[in-house]
Amino acid sequence: MPTVADDRTRSARAADGPVLVRIDASAPDWVHGLPSVPEGRRIGVTVSTEALRSCTTALAERGYDLIGVVPGRGGGTHADLLVTAAARDDAARWFPALLLVAARVFDLRFGPVQLLLQAELAAHLPDLPTD
């Protein structure tokens, strides 16, 4: 399996703006696969089912804050993390490690993606216009 240091990871520079990183949360130990957020940063997480609220403590220990439950489109059990460009730039090793466990990465610079993920983004950014 590729590691962060061996230059075979997915590109961490796919987008200049924020991205929504979707993690498959169907395995009981999914949180343990997340890399710890660098000290001084916190990353918000939404989950797709009420059952995943039980992961709040494990997420917090790794630097993630559970924001709420947003039922997912298309089924599945997942967690969504909103990652800003600044967070990626400040954490040169953390973001590539996060990409290794990501199921999908949504580039939020595109309008159709923003429309599709409107509920998820509203949870992460409560002041975001919804119309």
Lowest mean pLDDT among 10-24, 45-59, 99-113: 10-24
Pick the more confident residue, 98 or 105.
98
Q: Using one digit for the tens of pLDDT, what is the confidence trace for 39-52?
A: 888 899 999 899 99
The Cα angle at residue 106 between residues 24 and 63, in degrees rounded to 5 = 60
Token pair for 123:
């949870």
- For residues 24-56, b (16+ Cβ closer than 10 Å) or e, as one string? ebeeeebbeebbebeeeeebbbbbbbeebeebe
Burial 83-103 (b: 16+ CB within 10 A, else e): beeebbeebeebbbbbbeebe
This prediction's pTM: 0.74
Could you tell me the pLDDT band of residue 122, with boundaries at 50, 70 and 90? low
Domain ranges of the chain: 17-124
